[in-house]
Structure 1
């Protein structure tokens, strides 16, 4: 099935599955073109959902490496007219910064979505855990971050009993 034929199928479930399949196999410069084509689908909810899954899958595989920055910039250009997708890319960049101990702004974390806050709350960055334990968007985020912070403190106290 050619990507140009997908929008002709009236069943959005078939188109969604086809988009995911094609997005899962796309390589290099063709990725931007394919993402743009998917986002031209008349069913914007379905199209953006397919692209979101693709972004999450690709970002999860790339965020820790040197190829992430260029990929994220290209994807940002491809998704610029879709605020939710652009936000998810920004949040993956913040996740990357926290994970790799790169500079980040606490306010960016506080303004981020529940998705990112929960993902960070399950992590190990002590500063981020403290921020989320105190001011996370939901009780679940605050509790998850608080548990992580307590685990960090307990593990540190086993190393240095004076803590």
Structure 2
């Protein structure tokens, strides 16, 4: 991936971030792992001075792809391929695992309450704000990380029980 010539108005890291996002949005499935590896490792002679920015671009791509594939049987193959790329990056690796947990909850597949209790604030908020699954909401109503998560889960459960 080549670096763009800096624009006088934009800091170089903003240009690289935009270039990464554009390249990731246009990548073909068979080239996705290679491009993500390139963004994260930047094999250019001058490595990216801001690896957090590169990881931010990758997490946006990861979130978009996981959302697109969430209900597809292709998700499992894609996630397995992504593990190899993301494993050296703890935040990205955790995000992929949490997308898999989110998928399991959303599709009523087996999942462990402890995994949900131990998950990040991001995942817990995402579940209480976007899923209507009694089991997960009951777990988060009791053991959610934040008051916001616990209250939202309780409110959703209470509202649902009044409708029933």
- TM-score, length of structure 1 as denominator length: 0.90
In structure 1, C-alpha distance between the alignment counterparts of 2:151 and 2:31, rounded to whole Å: 42
Q: Is 1:87–2:88 an aligned residue pair?
A: no
Counterpart in the other structure of 2:123: 116
For the Cα contact (< 8 Å) 2:21–2:61, is it kept in 1?
A: yes
Instruction: Report what 1:140 is aligned to.
Output: 148
Q: Displacement, 1:7? A: 7.7
Unaligned runs of 5+ in 1: 157-163
Deviation at 1:47, TM superposition (A): 0.5
Instruction: After TM superposition, give the deviation of residue 77 of structure 1 in Å.
Output: 0.8
CA distance in 2, matches of 1:63, 1:6: 32
- Of 3, 8, 11 in structure 2, the residue corresponding to residue 6 of structure 1 is 3
Q: 1:8 to 1:38 in 2, by over 3 A?
A: farther
Deviation of 1:6 after TM superposition, in Å, equals: 2.1
Alignment deviations for residues 124-155 of structure 1 (CA, whole Å, 9 cap, x no partner): 11011111111100000011111111122112
The match for 1:36 is 37
Separation (CA, whole Å) in 2 of partners of 1:75 and 1:8 = 30
CA distance 1:7–1:110, shift in 2 (3 Å): farther
Residues 40, 8 of structure 1: alpha-carbon distance in 2 compared, 3 angstrom cutoff: farther
Where does residue 130 of structure 1 map in the other structure? 138
The aligned counterpart of 2:158 is 150
Give the TM-score, by structure 2 length: 0.89
| Cα RMSD, aligned residues only | 1.4
